[in-house]
Amino acid sequence: MKKCDLCRKRPATHKINRIDENGQMVELNLCEECAKTKGIIGPKELKTLLQILAELKKKIIEEDTQLVCPKCQMTFANFKALGKLGCEECYTAFQEKLLPIIQELHHSTHHTGKVPKEETKRKDLSLIKKLRQELKKAIEKEDYEKAAAIRDTLKKYETENE
């Protein structure tokens, strides 16, 4: 058996065709170890496309299993198997992976429909709080024109929420 062209000790197991500096085709016979150290992967090391896909899949499953909803402990892998989520918090916990799925399903990720009364109220309340702060600032700055405008808006929201 031929010896390795590089170390000249171990038996050559890999036959490699290379083009040298002069543009000439040279045949190199290398042993396993030298082939590895030179970064030339031998045929035994070549991954088939299927293997690569399988590894990728494994990686995704690992990722999906590690993505856990802090509230209900459902994993993203669980969701994928069931098509069902565990609790309302899952929507936040899985956001990054879930939103593309939602986009695909509905061609949108933004609700434009009904909002429960309670939610509108909550939104109004936070707005009222913000307006009150602005009003205070406007008065401090003696910008009475602005203050009057803010007061009018505030009045409107406050009567609506009584």
Partner 1 sequence: MSEDIILKGDTIGKWLFPEGPNSDIVLSSRVRLARNIKGIPFLTRAERKDQEKVLAMTKEALAEKGLLKEGYFRREKELPPLKLRFLKERHLIPFDFTNSHLERGIYIKRDETESILVNEEDHLRFQGLSSGMDLFSAYEKAERLDNLLSEVLSYAFSPKLGFLTICPTNVGTGMRASFLIHLPGLVITQEMEKVLRSLLEMGLTVRGIYGEGTETKGNLFQISNQITLGLSEEEILEKVTKIGKQILDYEIKAREFLLKKTRLAIEDKIFRSYAILKNARLLTSDEATNLLLLVRLGVTLNLIKDVDLKKINTLLILTRPANLQIYYNQEMNEKERDEKRAALVRLYLGNEQ
Positions touching partner 1 (CB under 8 A) are: 71-74, 82-88, 90-91, 98, 101-102, 105-119, 123
CA dist 101 and 6 (Å) reads: 53
Q: Which residues pair with 11 in a beta bridge?
A: 3
Strand partners, 15: 29
Two tokens, residue 83: 């098509």
Distance CA 79, CA 65 (A): 10
Closest distance of CB 91 from partner 1, Å: 6
- Max CA separation in the chain (angstroms): 98
Residue closer to partner 1, measured from CB, 102 or 149: 102
Shortest distance in whole angstroms from residue 101 CB to partner 1: 6
State in angstroms the smallest separation of the CB of 66 from partner 1: 18
**CB nearer partner 1, residue 34 or residue 85:** 85
Is residue 161 a contact partner of residue 128, using CB atoms and an 8 Å limit?
yes
Nearest distance from C-beta of residue 62 to partner 1, angstroms: 22
At its nearest, how many Å lie between partner 1 and the CB of residue 67? 15
The nearer residue to partner 1, 8 or 71, going by C-beta atoms, is 71
Nearest to partner 1 of 10, 97 (CB atom)? 97
* Residues 50, 57 contacting (CB under 8 angstroms): no
The separation between the first and the last C-alpha atoms of the chain, rounded to the nearest angstrom, is: 95
- Report phi then psi at 20, rounded to 5: -85, 180
* Nearest residue (CB) to partner 1, 22 versus 112: 112
The C-alpha atoms of residue 79 and residue 120 are separated, in whole angstroms, by 31
